[in-house]
Structure 1
Amino acid sequence: MNILSIILFLIVIIGVALYAFFRSRRVNKNSASGYFMGGHSLTGFAVASTIIMTNLSTEQLVGQNGQSFVAGMEVMAWEVTAAVAVVLLCWVFLPKYLKYGISTISEFIEMRYDVFTKRLVSHLFIFTYIVSFLPVVLYSGSLVSNQLFNVSEFLNVSDNTAVIIIAAVIGAVGILYLFIGGLSLSAYSDTLYGIGLIFGGLIVTILALKYLGDGSYLQGFDHIVKDTPEKLNAWGAVDSPIVPWPTLMFGMFFNNLFFWCTNQMIVQKALAAKSLKEAQKGAIYLSIFKIFGALFLVLPGIIAFNIFNGYVGSTADNAYPMLINTILSEWAFGIFGAIIFGAILSSFVGALNSTVTLFSLDFYKSFINRKSFRQKISSSGKNYNYNCRCNSSDTCTGYFAVPVRTVCSSTAV
């Protein structure tokens, strides 16, 4: 990255933040509804965008393209089958959720079962997000960002130090987002980042085809069809190590059903919509995106296989970073870097917001301080937000050394 790339990176990041800040000012962040649910102000497009950005991060961009580098188009099953689950969210789950006016999935569980089951589910969600999801997003996002943009070389530090620095920056910006604007601020920024990710991802695919075809997109695709037709087979063999076809019917569907229909991190964005109509519109937009998402989440890996003759080093996950470094101009790194940063930030902020929502509404309000006012609940969420971020960053840095903060209070109020 050069000085121009850094300037463009900062312009995009600051511009998106300012846009989101001014758009979210109309929402009262001092109330629980305003802070955790964006004041129920999201349109269908905003719902779709924020769910997309919460779901997509470097794990998908690098991981799925790495898998397609090895196995081909069968990897698209993760995207396409998700569309079925999203349609079920639209027509089956959302009407029920919004009918009862819930803010968390565990509230719905309480209506169907009892308080003990509700708290058990909340504990499972919170534990999973803090221990598994948040640290992985920080670590993998920082690792891939360093691979893509050579941050360690630019700062003249080791790779491990660069990863820690990137993780700290993402964590700090994420906690600032939630402190200032809650869900509404992150949702409006996700709208712009989502547009950037879709167009940026498609541009990468187009430029890669052009590079493969020596200036012709059609020649590039023809190269794939003639030289590696097996990579275009979307039906995995029964013994495939990536997506064997029985998985489509006996495993993947149920996985997607949980993730897209009952996962607090995903569903909360739809619950923040203006109305059932807007929430369902967002789900429909999302399902359309999942169908065509393979164009930049899977196809670039196949193109990379043809460009690099099937070799990208020790791991297939190098395919996407190598492709980016091959086809993008120096000035484009700043803009694409900002989009990648936004994707990592959105996933981190989305999970963090859901974690503090579960704690504040399911435990602080009903168990720790039953007489708390809405403003006090919002304040407790902000404090818990900080603790979750510290714990996640601590776990992330723990991949390299003993964490400096091994115990993090989760009940600060």
Structure 2
Amino acid sequence: MATLNAIDLGIVIAYTLILFVIGFWSSRGQDEYASEYFLAGRKMGWLTIGASLFVTNISSEHLVGLASSGAQNGLVVGHFEWMAIIALLALGWFFAPLFLKAKIYTIPEFLEMRFNRPTRIYLTAVSIFAYVLTKIAITLFAGGLLLNAMLGWDIYTSALVMVVITGIYTIVGGLRAVMNTHVFQMGVLLAGSFILTTVGLNKIGGFGPLLAGLPDHYFDVIRSARDPHFPWTGIVFGAPILAVWYWCTDQYIVQRVLSAKDLEQARTATIFTGFLKLLPAGLMILPGMVAVVMFPGIKTDEVISLLFSGRFLPVGLRGIVLAGFLAALMSSLASVFNSTATLFTMDFYRLYDPQASERKLVLVGRLATTIIVITAILWIPLTRLFNQQVYLYLQSLQAYIAPPIAAVFLFGVFSNKINARGAFYALIAGGIFGALRLALEMALRARPLNLGALQWLVQINFLHFAILLFIFSSAVLFMVSWLSGEQKDQTTRTVFSFSFDANRALLSAGNLTQLVLSVFLVALIFGIYGLFF
């Protein structure tokens, strides 16, 4: 357990005060229009959007998971960071033109435009359920563990402080307050991570001793197809499915892009975030590998506490690193509070009361955010019942709901061979199949069972299961569309033309910088894989 002296404590207090100032300053004029409260007036620039995308993504599971996985497995977990870059480019080049042209508030709203209202309602309900059960619960649990390891606070106190501070400025300021605080939090997060990595490398003597002190497999990012955790087949074919769902179709992420002033700002933001996503492999995985060299025999769940200890960080730097960790935790909480409130207000309440005024929608949004914050507080006592196994279950739940949604969006945009009935049944059937895998996995881990023919379903790697679930959902999507006999709509021809026309217009106007930077990013990814192949 670490303690903070006056200097470190002062840094953390200063971080909190600056956060409040930015949040409340950003809340001015948020009472009049729903677009102001939920989408920051659709006036945000690329820097703010890009910073918000990055820190929304970097949460407690990143801080805990990447460092711990680095200590246990090495650089291989960086696959998920590098895959995210490709998905971000897909968001900027293919999905952002569609979403911005449609002028939607939520991603489920886009599904209604493409298919029908039941698909919208289903995705909204699943998203809210998943946010409360996974994103909020995981952040509170992992964040509580972090602050317990760093400061000795109990998990309840740690989670309560995070929820209350974050909830206040999110309720008042809406998305603009959330995103403006994210710019500040990005700087603090990167500074803290950079300090942690630099101090660690200096203490062991640089990269040479790191390479010499670790087994070769720590730097092997291409693993056997039989590897229990990171099979190359799962990485190549399964991870992109999860990445498309998360980066291109999840309200939690995409709402930031919906706030863009125009397509040029939105796409520049995704490219900027792509460059930022090159950093976690060095700034968040590497410290875990350094810890293995510094503390031989370290347990993976002790990595963060040892890195934050007085044996590792001197006075002053400990406060900056803690502020960086708090930035990651609170930025993700703010995003999930705001996105959940947006889904409830625009996809449930506005459908119930289509004549609601702009002011009333903002009021409902604030009330919804307040309820979600209270729900998070009520969640806190339950985190005492969590353990590492429950943490893994909650994370895996996201992986099991992603493939059906990814299938419906991808084929909904790029094919006119499917219809609303096929999309709805694919979402339902895929959701049931994913829930079956999760239930069997939990039952098997609780006690040894003979599942007979279903044993293989539980034992295959979750990335391989993601491939299977995507194929299953796609099959249901096309089969039901074909069997239903409904006339195929022509929406996708119009929808796809949005993307094509928008891209052509930007490039013909001379804006080739985005294309060059995108190609450069892809080249960097291939270069990284070539370096470690």
Same fold (TM over 0.5): yes
For residue 330 of structure 1, report the CA deviation from its aligned partner: 2.5
Q: Could you say if the C-alpha distance between residues 148 and 240 of structure 1 is closer, same or farther in structure 2, counting changes exceeding 3 Å?
A: farther
For residue 390 of structure 1, report the CA deviation from its aligned partner: 1.6
Measure the CA separation in 2 of the matches of 1:53 and 1:227: 32
> What's the counterpart of residue 306 of structure 2?
322
> What's the counterpart of residue 84 of structure 2?
82
The reply to whether residue 4 of structure 1 matches residue 7 of structure 2 is yes
- Secondary structure at the residue paired with 1:251? helix
How is 1:128-167 mapped onto 2 (pairs within 5 angstroms)? 128-150=130-152, 152=153, 162-167=154-159
> What's the counterpart of residue 340 of structure 2?
355
> What's the counterpart of residue 393 of structure 1?
377
> What's the counterpart of residue 407 of structure 1?
none
For residue 25 of structure 1, report the CA deviation from its aligned partner: 4.9
> What's the counterpart of residue 408 of structure 1?
none
For residue 272 of structure 1, report the CA deviation from its aligned partner: 0.7
Question: Per-residue displacement from partner, 1:126-156 (whole Å, max 9, x unpaired)?
Answer: 1111122112211211221121233x3xxxx
Alignment length (residue pairs): 381
- Secondary structure at the residue paired with 1:72? helix
8 Å CA contact 1:29–1:181 kept in 2: the answer is no
> What's the counterpart of residue 332 of structure 1?
317
Counterpart pick for 2:209 among 198, 223, 245: 223
For residue 26 of structure 1, report the CA deviation from its aligned partner: 5.5
Q: Could you say if the C-alpha distance between residues 175 and 30 of structure 1 is closer, same or farther in structure 2, counting changes exceeding 3 Å?
A: farther
8 Å CA contact 1:71–1:242 kept in 2: the answer is no
Measure the CA separation in 1 of the matches of 2:327 and 2:191: 14
How is 1:186-225 mapped onto 2 (pairs within 5 angstroms)? 186-213=178-205, 220-225=206-211
Q: Could you say if the C-alpha distance between residues 292 and 340 of structure 1 is closer, same or farther in structure 2, counting changes exceeding 3 Å?
A: closer
8 Å CA contact 1:49–1:190 kept in 2: the answer is yes
For residue 72 of structure 1, report the CA deviation from its aligned partner: 0.9
Structure 2 counterpart of 1:84, one-letter code? I
> What's the counterpart of residue 287 of structure 2?
300
Structure 1 counterpart of 2:158, one-letter code? I
How is 1:256-335 mapped onto 2 (pairs within 5 angstroms)? 256-309=243-296, 311-313=297-299, 316-325=300-309, 326-335=311-320
8 Å CA contact 1:212–1:223 kept in 2: the answer is yes
Question: Per-residue displacement from partner, 1:246-305 (whole Å, max 9, x unpaired)?
Answer: 111221010001000000000000111111111111100111111232111211111111
How is 1:216-255 mapped onto 2 (pairs within 5 angstroms)? 220-228=206-214, 229-255=216-242
Relative to the length of structure 2, the TM-score reads 0.69
Structure 2 counterpart of 1:8, one-letter code? I
- Secondary structure at the residue paired with 1:191? helix
Measure the CA separation in 2 of the matches of 1:29 and 1:50: 22
Relative to the length of structure 1, the TM-score reads 0.89
Over the residues paired in the alignment, what is the CA RMSD in angstroms?
1.7
Question: Per-residue displacement from partner, 1:165-215 (whole Å, max 9, x unpaired)?
Answer: 1211111112211222111111111101101212221221111000011xx
Q: Could you say if the C-alpha distance between residues 28 and 389 of structure 1 is closer, same or farther in structure 2, counting changes exceeding 3 Å?
A: closer
> What's the counterpart of residue 49 of structure 1?
51
For residue 27 of structure 1, report the CA deviation from its aligned partner: 4.7
For residue 9 of structure 1, report the CA deviation from its aligned partner: 0.8
> What's the counterpart of residue 426 of structure 2?
none
For residue 336 of structure 1, report the CA deviation from its aligned partner: 2.0
Gaps of 5+ in 1: 153-161, 214-219, 403-413
Question: Per-residue displacement from partner, 1:332-369 (whole Å, max 9, x unpaired)?
Answer: 222222221121111011011000001001111112x2
For residue 2 of structure 1, report the CA deviation from its aligned partner: 1.9
Question: Per-residue displacement from partner, 1:37-56 (whole Å, max 9, x unpaired)?
Answer: 11122211111111111111
Measure the CA separation in 2 of the matches of 1:30 and 1:321: 46
> What's the counterpart of residue 409 of structure 1?
none
Greater shift after overlay, 101-110 or 329-338?
A: 329-338
How is 1:95-134 mapped onto 2 (pairs within 5 angstroms)? 95-134=97-136
8 Å CA contact 1:73–1:231 kept in 2: the answer is yes
- Secondary structure at the residue paired with 1:330? coil
Greater shift after overlay, 139-148 or 317-326?
A: 317-326
> What's the counterpart of residue 370 of structure 1?
354
The reply to whether residue 31 of structure 1 matches residue 33 of structure 2 is yes
Deviant stretches of 4+, over 4 Å: none
8 Å CA contact 2:188–2:327 kept in 1: the answer is no
> What's the counterpart of residue 365 of structure 2?
381
Structure 2 counterpart of 1:90, one-letter code? G
Measure the CA separation in 1 of the matches of 2:264 and 2:31: 24
8 Å CA contact 2:140–2:383 kept in 1: the answer is no
> What's the counterpart of residue 180 of structure 1?
172
For residue 118 of structure 1, report the CA deviation from its aligned partner: 0.6
Q: Could you say if the C-alpha distance between residues 401 and 88 of structure 1 is closer, same or farther in structure 2, counting changes exceeding 3 Å?
A: closer
> What's the counterpart of residue 328 of structure 2?
343
8 Å CA contact 1:27–1:38 kept in 2: the answer is no
Identity rate of aligned residues, in percent? 27
Measure the CA separation in 1 of the matches of 2:22 and 2:290: 36
Structure 2 counterpart of 1:3, one-letter code? A
Structure number, greater radius of gyration = 2
Q: Could you say if the C-alpha distance between residues 25 and 352 of structure 1 is closer, same or farther in structure 2, counting changes exceeding 3 Å?
A: closer
Measure the CA separation in 1 of the matches of 2:13 and 2:213: 41
Question: Per-residue displacement from partner, 1:217-272 (whole Å, max 9, x unpaired)?
Answer: xxx21012223233122222323333111111221010001000000000000111
8 Å CA contact 2:200–2:290 kept in 1: the answer is yes
- Secondary structure at the residue paired with 1:239? coil
For residue 320 of structure 1, report the CA deviation from its aligned partner: 2.8
> What's the counterpart of residue 58 of structure 1?
60
